[in-house]
Amino acid sequence: MAIMVENNGRLFNLHTKDCTYQMYADEYGVLLHTYYGKKIDGENLADLIFQADVGFSGNPEETVGNREYSLDCLPQELPSDGVGDYRESCIALLHGDGSIAADFRFESYKIFPSSYTVEGMPALYDKEDEKGETLVITMREKASKVTVRLFYGVFEKENVITRAVRVENRGESEVVLTKCLSGCLDYQFGEYDLITFAGRHAMERIPERNRIRRTKLEVGSLRGTSSHQYNPSMIVCTPDATEDFGECYGLCLVYSGNFTACAQKDQRGQTRVLMGIHSEKFSFCLRTGEYFAAPQLIMSYSDSGLSKLSQQYHKILREHMCRGAYQYRKRPVLLNNWEATYFNFNKEKLISLAEQAAKLGIEMLVLDDGWFGKRDDDNSGLGDWHVNEKKLGGSLKELGDRIHDLGMKFGLWFEPEMISEDSDLYRAHPDWALRIPGREPNRGRNQLVLDMSRNDVREYLFERLADILEHAPIDYVKWDMNRSICDIYSHQYAGSQNGEVYHRFVLGVYDLLERFLQRFPDILLEGCSGGGGRFDAAMLYYSPQIWCSDNTDAVNRLEIQYGTSFFYPVSSMGAHVSAVPNHQTGRVTPFRTRGHVALSGSFGYELDLNKMSEEEKAIVKEQIEDFHKYYSLTHEGTYYRLTPPGERFCAWEFVDEEKDHALQTLVMTSAEGNPLPVHTIVKGLSPDKYYCCSVNGQVHSGRTWMGAGLTLRMVPKEYESILIEWNVVEKGLGRKPI
């Protein structure tokens, strides 16, 4: 069993293949966090906790004068607010009498032979032949009838431990939950760095690494979504940690709304790390019998560097978070019309693009924004989900049938969560928008946000989307969301419940997505929020691929896709080849380089094919052949980061499961006179197998390739790229070894 309970039901060891997570409920019922790291035998490690009389750190009443016992110094699983732990807490309550204390103590536990679910939210799920285990620990608040259930899930083979929280009011008066984070890790000893993933629209998820000190490090989002600015994922690692060395702890929140992630050393040098829903602008009223469920936190540990940690996340998210028809099915190569036409299109333009695409081997045409209502720019029409047949020169079914007749699939863009003030929907239902009465709203793109917490709003959207998809041959939907949420006010949850709206909005989005996929299970759904503004584990539950960034510049994409790869599988990254000069940066890069970069993702094009040269069209055919040739590597293989962006060149590698085939991509990012040689490392091969390299025909053992690496015979020019393959051969084949 992965979950072991000893010491009269008070010592809990969660074992995965390579690690152990240990907790101990002490004599006062405080649930202590005693260990997380390399796999151990599971003896009680509470004796590692050093207790001393620390000035200004008070003592619980049960200790009867024992000044060495203080919540302010103990490593805990559920640090609470207002009861003597002055560090960051996980949970805070506002009681009916105005008090804010929350003192939770251990009551009981249960073990279940399967993974748990989180009501209304995504969570890692069991497969028929791969089931997790669940430990549920019940904690009771000392002076009230509020209970907390801590859920711990163990995926033994994948080295993953999850955590979720459920708070229930069993008392007779209402309680307001003002903070509820999903997880806490307390490290008693050691120095650690914190890696977070920051950015902005069109430059998302750029890694930042800082030493954890007594000055609090905190990132998060108050934009209503997980955001372009910060991602709900972070890594705690030893200062010496590299891709292949050092201890690393990953924390990935399964949530698409406001979140916080923070780390700080305390007065005794202990490190506390927390993650969950942001407590600012959050409150949740719990009446008698009501409960609140916090989102799942996915934790993973590696004792051999960042690469292994990333690979564990790639596997668990690809196999136990992504779902549906396209979880494993090959994704079609698509052409999105956006950068080819923007809003200026008609049926003839679209058919012309499709005809050219079909000749080149592209498998799907996606019609982006502008096909509905009054929508010739981004100032009107959102919410009016009725096909503009005048603009299309006929019905959507006629257009879709024409695309299908060319042997292609047909996709469509939606932005369901938004509403334009210049729309029939807004004129009919102004109360459906998130807008504070008596105040002018903060506008983004001249659009407001629909109140997704309302059943009637979701019902309208579902009916409109379903009506469109049931009357046209749609194979793919791009689900966009193009502004941050402000002016938070719901007519349904006004007054004391207004602090619930941000979270209820997210639950409403999940509800609509789930209903949509239940009705249309064979559709490929791609998530989007101005590119990567909602690229998180929760959205992968609904959309197995997410548009990685609105920035399609190949050089910028090196950074964006590099940062994204620390947690999210390459198969989830929407990546396209676009025109040059690039529409976002003005940079000119070779067509082949744009293809090589986009190949590390779910592949497609975003340009006007009719403006390409014959040489470029020939390259498109080659790129599509490469996509199919290398698909099992890029979408199912093991991924290695070889160099970070910002050096002379950027390189990464895929290796198949059998370790018979490897593919490395290398992009030169700078040029210099009298250039130095380009030497790249090689990873992931089997030491005892022999491999032939595609660029020089040399044969070496995997041990030799990984030890010595490869030197290119010629130095590529700036922004040029190269694909390098290693294929298993019999010893002695190929050219004579060096």
Taking the CA atoms of 502, 504, 506 and 512 in sequence, report the sign of the dihedral they define.
negative
Say which amino acid occupies 609.
L
pTM above 0.85, yes or no: yes
Q: Where are the beta strands (DSSP E) in 450-607?
A: 476-479, 524-527, 545-547, 573-578, 602-606
Res 276: pLDDT = 98
Q: Where are the beta strands (DSSP E) in 306-390?
A: 334-336, 364-367
DSSP 8-state class, residue 185: E
Query: Do 691 and 682 touch, CB atoms closer than 8 A?
Result: no
**What is the rounded CA–CA span in Å between residue 573 and residue 261?**
23
- Which residues lie closer than 8 Å to 154 by C-beta, 6 or more apart? 2, 3, 14, 15, 16, 132, 133, 134, 135, 160, 161, 162
**What is the rounded CA–CA span in Å between residue 638 and residue 569?**
9
Give residue for tokens 């010592």: 11
Structure tokens at 632: 């099992």
State yes or no: is 85 an active-site residue.
Answer: no
Structure tokens at 407: 């042997």
The active-site residue, picked from 191, 319, 616, 718, is 616
**What is the rounded CA–CA span in Å between residue 335 and residue 348?**
16
pLDDT in tens, 115-127: 999 999 999 999 9
The active-site residue, picked from 133, 536, 606, 653, is 536
Query: Do 243 and 306 touch, CB atoms closer than 8 A?
Result: yes
Structure tokens at 109: 């536990």
Res 737: pLDDT = 39
Residue 397 φ/ψ, nearest 5 degrees: -65, -40
Burial label for 697, CB within 10 Å (0-12, 13-18, 19+), is exposed
Residue (of 672, 669, 641, 667) closest to 655 by Cα position: 641
Query: Do 628 and 599 touch, CB atoms closer than 8 A?
Result: no
**What is the rounded CA–CA span in Å between residue 164 and residue 484?**
26
Tell me the HSE value of 310 on the side-chain side, using a 13 A CA sphere.
21
Query: Do 579 and 551 touch, CB atoms closer than 8 A?
Result: no
Give residue for tokens 């506002």: 94
Residue (of 328, 358, 224, 364) closest to 281 by Cα position: 224
CATH numbers and ranges of domains, the chain: 3-320 (2.70.98.60), 326-347+362-522 (3.20.20.70), 641-729 (2.60.40.1180)
**What is the rounded CA–CA span in Å between residue 302 and residue 563?**
18
In sequence order, what DSSP letters do the residues of 558-574 get, joined into one string? HHHHHHHTTTS-GGGEE
Whether the bond into 581 is cis, omega within 30 of 0: yes
Give residue for tokens 């560097």: 305
Q: CB count, 10 Å around CB of 495?
A: 7
**What is the rounded CA–CA span in Å between residue 247 and residue 86?**
28
Say which amino acid occupies 696.
N
pLDDT in tens, 26-79: 999 999 999 999 999 999 999 999 999 999 999 999 998 899 999 999 999 999
Radius of gyration of the chain (CA): 27
State yes or no: is 97 an active-site residue.
Answer: no
Query: Do 103 and 148 touch, CB atoms closer than 8 A?
Result: no
Query: Do 32 and 75 touch, CB atoms closer than 8 A?
Result: yes
Buried b (16+ CB within 10 A) or exposed e, 128-144: eeeebbbbbbbbbbbeb
**What is the rounded CA–CA span in Å between residue 276 and residue 261?**
7
Structure tokens at 342: 């923007």
Residues of the chain scoring pLDDT < 50: 735-738
